[in-house]
Amino acid sequence: MPGAAPDAAAPAGTLPSDRAAARATLVRALQLAYSGELGAIRAYLGHSAALRGRPERAGLRTILVDEIRHRRRVGEMLAGLGAAPDPAAERKLDRIGRTIAWICCWSGWFVPMYGAARLERDNVAEYEVAARLAWWAGERHLEDDLLHLAEVEWDHERWLREQAARHLLWHVAPYGRVPPPREEIRARFRAFLAAPTPVEPRRSLLFR
Ligand SMILES: [Fe+2]
Ligand SMILES: [Fe+2]
C-alpha cells in the first residue's frame, strides 16, 4: 500500500522489520554509494586519460561529470539523514579507483569499457534498492532522486556496453544479463509500492 507505515506493511520477521532498521540500512547503502562514486570518479579519470585523442573521450567525460554530481547528491542525502561518509569505505574505494585508473593506462581499449559497463550494471540495482529502502524508512522525499540516479547509471551502462560491443573481444567475453528497458526502473518501483516486499541491501562487486 503506497505511503503506508513500513512496519504496518512489512511481513513479520523480514528485512527491514521497522522504520529505524530501514533507515540504518538506507544510510549504509548511501555510504557505500557515496564511496562507490569516488571510486568511479578516480577510475574514469584514468580511463579518460587513456582515451586521449580518441572519439569516445567526450562521451566518457560526460559520464565522469555525472559521477561527480552523483557523489555530491548522495553526500547531501547522507547529511540530510544526519549521517556522514564512512572513512573506511572512502579509503577502500579511493584505492580501488586509483588501481583501476592505473590499469586503464595499459590494458588497452576494450577492458576498461567492458569492465565499467559491468560495474554500472550493478549501480542501477543499487540505487533502485536505495529508493525502496527510502520508502521503508519513511524518507519518501529521496525516492525520486534515487530513481533518477538509477536511470543515469542505466544510461552509463548502455553507452559503455555499446562501445564495448563494437570490439572484436566482445564476442568472446561473456557479459550476462543486459538491463531491461530504462522505463522499467520506475515501473518496478511502482510495482513495489503496490505490493511492498522486503529489501535486501545489495553489495557491489567492489564491496565484497
Ligand atoms: Fe554514479
Ligand atoms: Fe555511473
pLDDT-derived band at 202 (thresholds 50, 70, 90) equals low
Cα separation, 192 vs 137, in Å, equals 14
Evaluate the CA torsion angle 63, 69, 74, 75 in order and state its sign.
positive
- 97 burial level (CB within 10 Å; 0-12, 13-18, 19+): buried
- From the CA of 67, which ligand is nearest? 1
Evaluate the CA torsion angle 142, 145, 149, 155 in order and state its sign.
positive
Answer whether residue 6 shows pLDDT above 80.
no
Answer whether residue 207 shows pLDDT above 90.
no
- From the CA of 62, which ligand is nearest? 2
Mean pLDDT of 81-89: 97
> What is this structure's pTM?
0.89
Cα separation, 100 vs 193, in Å, equals 38
pLDDT at 132: 95
- From the CA of 63, which ligand is nearest? 2
- From the CA of 47, which ligand is nearest? 2
- What separation in Å is there between the alpha carbon of 123 and the centre of ligand 2? 7
- What separation in Å is there between the alpha carbon of 56 and the centre of ligand 2? 16
Tens-place pLDDT, residues 140-159:
999 999 999 999 999 999 99
Mean pLDDT of 108-128: 95
- From the CA of 33, which ligand is nearest? 1
Chain position carrying cell 571510486? 39
- From the CA of 35, which ligand is nearest? 1
- Comparing CA positions, the residue from 75, 5, 83 lying closest to residue 41 is 75
Q: Phi-psi category of 84—alpha, beta or left, where left has phi over 0 and alpha has psi -120 to 50?
A: beta
Mean pLDDT of 102-131: 94
The better pLDDT of the pair 91, 6 is held by 91
pLDDT at 17: 67
- What separation in Å is there between the alpha carbon of 8 and the centre of ligand 1? 33
Mean pLDDT of 44-68: 96
- What separation in Å is there between the alpha carbon of 88 and the centre of ligand 2? 21
Mean pLDDT of 73-96: 97
pLDDT at 15: 58
- What separation in Å is there between the alpha carbon of 152 and the centre of ligand 2? 7
Residue ranges in the chain assigned as alpha helix (H): 6-9, 19-50, 57-80, 87-104, 110-136, 143-164, 184-194
pLDDT at 13: 42
